Amino acid sequence: MFRNKFAPYALATALLLGAAGAGTVALASERERDRDTTAEMQAVAAMRTTLPQAIAAAEQATGGRAIEAGVDHEDGRLTLKVETLKGTERQEVTINPDTGAVLHVAAADED
């Protein structure tokens, strides 16, 4: 009788403790994500090449006009990517964020 009376309480306690553990894991994961985001923002802020400079370099390299630009991850490091359009030809240009040098020009993937 004693066992049956307290079994629901024991189950509820176990579930609460399990939920608290899951909450701790979720909180730790959220903190790690925040740290990664902060580190990425610091890396972007430390880049020597501005987005307008990257756009100018890409336009000069391809002879086209920039239609999209942003920061990207490539091989574990940040790069600047600019997509240009010349006529009907779209090209993706990878720019070194520290030197502003064009690293690679390739046909842009059609989305």
What is the 3-class SS of the chain, one letter each residue?
CHHHHHHHHHHHHHHHHHHHHHHHHHHHHHHHHHHHHHHHHHHHHHCCCCHHHHHHHHHHHHCCEEEEEEEEEECCEEEEEEEEEECCEEEEEEECCCCCCEEEEEECCCC
User: In this predicted model, what pLDDT tens digit does every residue of 34-67 receive, in sequence order?
Assistant: 776 787 788 788 889 999 999 999 999 999 999 9
Question: Which of 15-19, 34-38, 98-102 has the highest average model confidence (pLDDT)?
Answer: 98-102
pTM over 0.85: no
Q: What is the pLDDT of residue 111?
A: 53
